[in-house]
C-alpha cells in the first residue's frame, strides 16, 4: 500500500449518496502504468442523469444549490489525499469557492468540468492500482503499488488557517415592509485563507517541511431586506421674514455712496446708487494678489509590507490545530448540507 485516506458521509442523504456511489465506482479499479495520468473528471464524466447521477447539494457562486452530480467533489477530495500519501505527482488540483465539511481547509479538490479537476501521474517504475470503497458512512481510497520508499520514512500533512475574511452586510430597501422592519434574505458566510504543509520524518525525526499550496475561500455578505425610512413630520409654522439687505450683498458703505455722488454731479440723485467703474472696497485693501499655499505637499512613504510567505517556513506551523497522520486516518469532521461541493459548476 502506497497511501490511503478516508472521509465521512451521511448515509441518510439518499440523493447525495447515489452520486458518491456512482463516482466512486467509476474511479475504483483504475490501473496506471508508469508515467500514465488519471483525470478525476474524465473518469466520472459526464455528470448527467443518463450516466447515473441525480440532484445533490453543490456550490455555485458561493451559495448552496442543487445540481446533477452534486457531492462528487468528496470523491475527488478523498482521492487527492490518498494520492498525497502515495506521493503521486499531482499535476492539477483546485480548492472550492467555500470551505467544505469533509476535509480540512486546503485539503479539498473541487470538480467543475475541465476547469477544476484532479489529475495525477504515476511516478513509479511499476503500475499502481486505485481502489475506492464506501461502507458504513466512510469513503476510502487506497493506492497500491510496489513500495520503494525507505521503511523508516513517514509523512504528515497539516492544514494551517491564515485568517478569516469578512464582508459587511448588504441592505436592500423594500417598500412593502414597515419602517424599521428587517428580514434576512441570505446569511452569507465567512471566507478563509489556508495553506497545506507536508512534513517528512525519518526514524521519527523531521527531515523535510514544505508548503504545498495556499488557498483562499471566498466570503459572501449577509443580505437583508429593510423597510423604508420613516418620513419626518412637516412643520406648519411660517418662516420668519427677513428685512433689509445683508452686509456684503449689495449694500453700499458710506464711503462708497459719497464717492458715487461726488464723481459726476450732473447725474440725478437716483443714479447715485448705481455701480461705479472704479470702486474701492470698505477696507481699501488690494485683493488682486492670491495668497500662496504655505504648506508644501509632503511625500508619504509606504512600507513594503506583505513579504511573500508562500515558500517560507513558519514556526507556527509546528503545532497546527488539524493534523493528518501518516496513515491517512479517518476525518472526524461532520458533514453539512450547507458546505457540500458542486459537481459541475
Kindly give the parts of the chain with pLDDT less than 50: 243-340, 343-345
Return the pLDDT at 244.
Answer: 47
Return the pLDDT at 272.
Answer: 36
Strand (E) or helix (H) holding 57: strand 55-60
pTM exceeding 0.75: no
Nearest C-alpha neighbor of 325 from the set 209, 199, 233? 199
What's CA 29's distance to the chain center, in Å?
36
Return the pLDDT at 64.
Answer: 85
Return the pLDDT at 60.
Answer: 82
Query: Which CA distances in Å does 200 have to 156, 191, 323, 334?
Result: 7, 30, 13, 28
Return the pLDDT at 280.
Answer: 39
Nearest C-alpha neighbor of 182 from the set 197, 195, 166, 171? 171
Return the pLDDT at 203.
Answer: 96
Return the pLDDT at 235.
Answer: 63
Amino acid at each position: 500500500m502506497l497511501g490511503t485516506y478516508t472521509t465521512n458521509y451521511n448515509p441518510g442523504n439518499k440523493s447525495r449518496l447515489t452520486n458518491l456511489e456512482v463516482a466512486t465506482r467509476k474511479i475504483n479499479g483504475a490501473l496506471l502504468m508508469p508515467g500514465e495520468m488519471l483525470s478525476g473528471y474524465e473518469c466520472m464524466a459526464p455528470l448527467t442523469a443518463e450516466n447515473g447521477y441525480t440532484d445533490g447539494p453543490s456550490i455555485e457562486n458561493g451559495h448552496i444549490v442543487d445540481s446533477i452530480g452534486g457531492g462528487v467533489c468528496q470523491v475527488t477530495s478523498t482521492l487527492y489525499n490518498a494520492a498525497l500519501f502515495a506521493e503521486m505527482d499531482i499535476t492539477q488540483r483546485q480548492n472550492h469557492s467555500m470551505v467544505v465539511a469533509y476535509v480540512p481547509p486546503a485539503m479539498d479538490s473541487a470538480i467543475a468540468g475541465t476547469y477544476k479537476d484532479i489529475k495525477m501521474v504515476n511516478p513509479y517504475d511499476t503500475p499502481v492500482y486505485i481502489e475506492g470503497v464506501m461502507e458504513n458512512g466512510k469513503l476510502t481510497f487506497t493506492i497500491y503499488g510496489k513500495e520503494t520508499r525507505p521503511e523508516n520514512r513517514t509523512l504528515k500533512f497539516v492544514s494551517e488557517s491564515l485568517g478569516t475574511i469578512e464582508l459587511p452586510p448588504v441592505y436592500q430597501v423594500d417598500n412593502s415592509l414597515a419602517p424599521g422592519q428587517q428580514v434576512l434574505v441570505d446569511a452569507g458566510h465567512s471566507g478563509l485563507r489556508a495553506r497545506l504543509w507536508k512534513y517528512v520524518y525519518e526514524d521519527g525525526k523531521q527531515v523535510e517541511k514544505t508548503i504545498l499550496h495556499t488557498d483562499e475561500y471566498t466570503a459572501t455578505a449577509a443580505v437583508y431586506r429593510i423597510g423604508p425610512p420613516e418620513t419626518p413630520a412637516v412643520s406648519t409654522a411660517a418662516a420668519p421674514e427677513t428685512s433689509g439687505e445683508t452686509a456684503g450683498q449689495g449694500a453700499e458703505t458710506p464711503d462708497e455712496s459719497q464717492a458715487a455722488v461726488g464723481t459726476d454731479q450732473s447725474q440725478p440723485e437716483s443714479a447715485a446708487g448705481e455701480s461705479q467703474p472704479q470702486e474701492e472696497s470698505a477696507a481699501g485693501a488690494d485683493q488682486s494678489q492670491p495668497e500662496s499655499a504655505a504648506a508644501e505637499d509632503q511625500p508619504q512613504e509606504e512600507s513594503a509590507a506583505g513579504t511573500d510567505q508562500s515558500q517560507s517556513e513558519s514556526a507556527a506551523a509546528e503545532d497546527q490545530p488539524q493534523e493528518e497522520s501518516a496513515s491517512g486516518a479517518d476525518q472526524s469532521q461532520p458533514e453539512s448540507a450547507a458546505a457540500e461541493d458542486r459537481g459541475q459548476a
